[in-house]
Every structure is written in C-alpha cells, then in structure tokens.
Amino acid sequence: MIKVLFATSEANPFIKTGGLGDVMGALPKELKRKGIDARVILPKYSAIKGELLDKLNFKKWFMVPVGWRNQYCGVYQCEYDEVIYYLLDSEFYFHRNGLYGEGDDGERFAFFDRAVLETLKEIDWCPDIIHCNDWQTGMIPVLHKLEYSKDPFYKDIKTVTSIHNLLFQGNFSADILPELFGYDYEPVRNGSLEFYGGMSFMKEL
C-alpha cells in the first residue's frame, strides 16, 4: 500500500482560511477510499474548535531544534472520516489569534517543517511520499535533501509540493538560514533559495 503524508498549515474540518483547507479535507479522504494510506499533519492551533480538540489523543512529545535552541513539540492524533490526522502542538508558535500574518511566521514554520520530519521517526511511520502544500511547508524538501535523506529511515521518501496560492511565497531575510536552520548562506549564494537578496521557502532546491 502506498503511504502518503500531506503536510499542510490547515485542513478542514480542523481549521481553514481558504482553498488549501478544503483540498486538505477532501483529497486525503478520496485517496484513502482508493486504497492509499493517506494521512495529514498540521499545526495544533489554539483556534481549532473545542469539539474537534476532544477527538485528539496525545501520543508523545519531543524537542525540535530551531537554530541554537530546542522547542517543545507535542504530537496528537485522531481519525476523522477514516483519515489519520497528526496535529503538532507548540504553545509558543501556534497559540495565536490567527493562523498567519505574525512577525515570526518564518520561525513558526521553520519549526513546523522540521517537526514534521522529526515526528515521522518519533511515531515510527515512514511515508513513501510527503506532499507539501504552499510556502508554510516549503522547507521540508530542503531539510530532507540536505539532512534527513542521509538517515536510512528517511532516505527513500520522495517529496512533492503543490502551490495553492502564489501570492503568498514565504519570503524572508537570508539571516533565517543560520538562525533557524543552522545552515550557512550557501543556498542563497548559489541561487537555490535566493529571492531578491533574501530567501524564499518556495524556491526549494
């Protein structure tokens, strides 16, 4: 059975602001009906409705490196319409009034992208494909290529990215590469992540 993980910043019915949430609520369910082990991973925002929070079961917690520091990540799981959902908890990053538009969005989703990959090993489930969605998950393929693919657990994973709204590109100062990812500026200098003097989560490699 093919295993696909949808990494997303929103998914209906848990939380949505637009079309991305609708797609992530419908596509995994349809693939599941076709015999694919499709699962979804997203942040556990404080804005998620109470009745849906009641369905979540806490699995475990671990620390995620974000540059020079480590941040708590809790993993919650539930099944909804036969699809397994993982929600990653961080009070520091995701207990906000809204989903986006915060001054530290680069850091919030740098944390999330690494946490997605770390979660797989923590729960001992390895997908064949990670389907990333929009800029908020755009660094997952980069992290996988530069770091995680060297680990036998991750080496056979393939990544694909869908762009739902090109207006939002995840453009930030190049300084977040060393500050949040522990990389030097080479991905900017060689052009793979460079975007008008800064870096973009959507450039990938």
- Domains present along the chain, CATH in parentheses: 3-169 (3.40.50.2000)
28 touches 85 (CB < 8 A): no
The count of C-alpha atoms lying within 13 angstroms of the C-alpha of 93, restricted to the half-sphere facing its C-beta, is 25
Using DSSP, state whether 135 is helix, strand or coil: helix
Q: What is the pLDDT of residues 6-61, one digit of tens each?
A: 999 999 999 999 899 999 999 999 999 999 999 999 999 999 988 888 899 999 99
Quote the pLDDT of residue 205.
54
CA 81 to CA 30: how far, in whole Å? 10
Query: Could you give the percent of the chain with pLDDT greater than 70?
Result: 99
Confidence label for 168 from pLDDT (cuts 50, 70 and 90): confident
d(CA 56, CA 187): 38
End-to-end CA distance of the chain: 29
**What are the tens digits of pLDDT across the range 101-123?**
899 999 999 999 999 999 999 99
Q: Which amino acid is at 132?
A: C
